[in-house]
Amino acid sequence: MSARTTIITHTEEFVSARMCFHVMSAARNILPHAVTTDPDKYKVIFENDRVRVIDYKDKPGDKTKLHHHPDAVLYMLSAFKRKLTFDNGKSVVVDIKGGEVVWNDEQSHIGENIGETNTHVLFVELKQPRPQ
């Protein structure tokens, strides 16, 4: 692990966000993926039968449509501030530092860049279901 990479597991924002993720509606599996809803922001840069790697970019004021993500690791390439509104109506604001690496549980949300900087994130989404 490089000195610039920080693994975030229990920041206040992500603990709060994870609590919202687990209260999502049963409709999450029928919601479209982000690549489908917002192709101007999400670009698939690698895909095989096990993972999909997505390059996400937006600018201040940009907002996504409601979409779904499977379990994923996120690498924050830039610092940004965003509001996530989940499909159950709950929302959380996260203030991210560039270089952070986080685990993201499966979720459905709308994302809005409410900061003053562009967002740049790499998603490594898992295609296989979680072991029971």
CATH number of 6-126: 2.60.120.10
Map out the domains of the chain as residue ranges.
Answer: 6-126
Per-residue pLDDT, averaged over 27-41, amounts to 84
The predicted pLDDT at position 129 comes to 83
**pLDDT for 15-31, tens place per residue?**
444 444 433 434 445 79
pLDDT confidence tier of residue 63, bands split at 50, 70 and 90: very high
Q: Which two tokens stand for residue 30?
A: 């029928």
Q: What is the pTM of this model?
A: 0.78
Strands 107-113 and 67-69: antiparallel
Q: How far apart are the first and last CA of the chain?
A: 29
pLDDT confidence tier of residue 132, bands split at 50, 70 and 90: confident
Tokens 């379990």, residue located: 71
